[in-house]
Amino acid sequence: MEADASVDMFSKVLENQLLQTTKIVEEHLDSEIQKLDQMDEDELERLKEKRLQALRKAQQQKQEWLSKGHGEYREIPSERDFFQEVKESKKVVCHFYRDSTFRCKILDRHLVILSKKHLETKFLKLNVEKAPFLCERLHIKVIPTLALVKDGKTQDYVVGFTDLGNTDDFTTETLEWRLGCSDILNYSGNLMEPPFQSQKKFGTNFTKLEKKTIRGKKYDSDSDDD
């Protein structure tokens, strides 16, 4: 009986909370409708024009990004191109890779998807063999590494897969979250809740990645096939 009483009490509290929330939403909608009803034709026209201007501005921004190479995941041929690319765009993600490192190919798949979704950010890749000076300057020692460049300055790095749940099977959403943590793209989710944490709740196992030195090179690699 006590259990039934507790359930009934909880149900009533929940019902009251829902009613209060519904009332607040209805009051807000009524207020907005009232504002529209009280507007004259000139005010409505100004509101319409303001919204059209915002749409035109957003479209112009989109075209500007596309003209600068946003919207696709591109390889750049040299260090000189890197400096030109980061000068042109406010937010840049550059993947420092090697052909023989298979985890670079894993990153490639996710970066292709994100480049199309986040036009506000430029996504590039650069072969470390063609950029020895830049790798030394940016202290690139582990492959793969993502350099996150904002306003022409390197703000952060994603080194290997440690920040991505420490697994080869991380999701695109996990990489998106990690880049969002550095404000290098516009992330709409909750930065306080990494996607791989929710996966852990459902029993996902993560493989610990062992680092090894690439023979004859100064880089470390997260891959096992070098």
**Is 44 part of a structural domain of the chain?**
no
CB neighbour list of residue 114: distance below 8 Å, 6 or more residues apart: 93, 121, 123, 172, 175, 176, 179, 185
Q: Please check whether residue 78 lies inside any domain of the structure.
A: yes
Model confidence pLDDT, tens digit, residues 150-189: 999 999 999 999 999 999 999 999 999 999 999 999 999 9
Number of domains in the chain: 1
Q: Which residues of the chain have pLDDT under 70?
A: 1-15, 34, 36-38, 197-226
Answer yes or no: is 19 within a domain. no
| Residue % of the chain over a pLDDT of 70 | 77
In a domain, 119, yes or no: yes
Q: What's the pLDDT at 48?
A: 80
Give the tens place of pLDDT for each residue, 87-104: 999 999 999 999 999 999
Residue 191 falls inside a structural domain: no
Distance in angstroms (rounded) separating the CA atoms of residues 78 and 83: 9
Is the omega angle on the peptide bond into residue 144 within 30 degrees of 0, that is, cis?
yes
Residue with tokens 């919207």: 71
Q: What is the CATH number of the domain that holds 74?
A: 3.40.30.10
C-alpha 86: how far from chain center: 18
112 is in which domain, residue-wise?
Answer: 70-182
Q: What is the pLDDT of residue 12?
A: 67
Domain membership of residue 55 (yes or no) is no
pLDDT of residue 75: 98
Handedness of CA 179, 185, 190, 196 (dihedral sign): negative
What's residue 9's pLDDT? 64
Query: What is the bridge-based pairing of β-strands 142-143 and 91-97?
Result: unpaired
- Domain assignment present for residue 40? The answer is no
Q: What is the reported pLDDT for 181?
A: 96
How many angstroms separate the Cα of 140 from the Cα of each of 104, 118, 146, 183, 202? 14, 25, 9, 21, 35
Asked whether residue 54 is domain-assigned, the answer is no
